[in-house]
Chain A
Amino acid sequence: MKFDEAAVFKWVVIVGAAGAVIVAVTLLTRPLVGALLLLVVVIAGCVYGYRWSERKWRELGARRRSREPRE
């Protein structure tokens, strides 16, 4: 992942949109529903983060193997 301002701004938009949805749901229903939705969003974020890190490690391993001299 390229870590620059544009990449972080993308996450501002994503977190802002998720926050807006949670606020809307909470105001239209009850705080408990909003809290559960927040929990769902957090778990989804953790799953995404885990899968992203797995992919990155796999790419790193593949890059290292392609650089190692063949015997």
Chain B
Amino acid sequence: MESASVAVGHAHADHHHGPPEANQSSRIDRQTLGILLFIVSEVMLFGAFFASYFFLRVVVDPASWPPEPFELPKAVAGMNTAILISSSFTVHYALESIRRGNRTGLKLGLVATWLLGATFLFIQINEYVHLGFSARDLSFGSIFYSLTGLHGAHVFVGLCLLSFATIRAFRGHFGPGAEDHLGVEVPGIYWHFVDIMWIIVYVTVYIL
């Protein structure tokens, strides 16, 4: 028995290259754990920016917020919020489709999500052009562009991830099994995080 296991070990060693396989939890796959840890770190990053926002607004306590004559386009940002929330629904539709083996639904959902996300980013950039103040105009301008710009950068990263997922979906890489569509599941989780962050940014910066 020992010689057999040694023989098997040698056979395995012939095919094995590099360091040994890392330990993997039976309860969560490493890709999902990876995106969870990444999102936690990004939440801390946003937390730092929100702390700065609340410090400038509450502790410094300026005469008015936004300072006159600056004004924020709440309606346009509200419409943008609706667009981003819709994109969460479309990416969820895409994932539900592939869980049921519907590859057409997956492709449609991913394309729709990407288009909605790109529209959001386009409207955000257009808003920057027409706002009437820059990041150098008082602390308000600085924190506004910092917070919304940080979120915009996250949307851009999300669009890159969705691009990879969409291209792979059109190449038929994904299947109904849980391990067979992690390449869509992980970008989907990230996209939902981006959406949740925007809801918090919109409520805090534009509305309150």
CA distance A5 to B202 in the complex (A): 23
Indicate if the CB atoms of B95 and A15 lie closer than 8 Å: no
Kindly state whether residue A3 has any CB partner on chain B within 8 Å. yes
How many residues belonging to A are interface residues under a CB distance threshold of 8 Å? 19
| 16 more CB-based (< 8 A) A-B contacts, given A26-B208, A34-B208 | A3-B32, A3-B36, A4-B178, A4-B185, A4-B189, A6-B92, A15-B200, A16-B85, A16-B195, A19-B199, A22-B207, A22-B208, A23-B203, A34-B207, A38-B204, A38-B208
Kindly state whether residue B72 has any CB partner on chain A within 8 Å. no
Closest 9 CB pairs of A and B: A5-B188, A8-B192, A19-B199, A9-B92, A12-B88, A12-B192, A15-B196, A19-B203, A5-B95
Kindly state whether residue A27 has any CB partner on chain B within 8 Å. yes
B-to-A contact residues, CB < 8 Å = 28, 32, 36, 78, 85, 88, 91-92, 95-96, 178, 185, 188-189, 192-193, 195-196, 199-200, 202-204, 207-208
11 contacts between A and B (CB under 8 A): A3-B28, A5-B92, A6-B95, A8-B193, A9-B88, A9-B92, A12-B195, A16-B199, A19-B200, A35-B208, A38-B203
A-to-B contact residues, CB < 8 Å = 3-6, 8-9, 11-12, 15-16, 19, 22-23, 26-27, 31, 34-35, 38
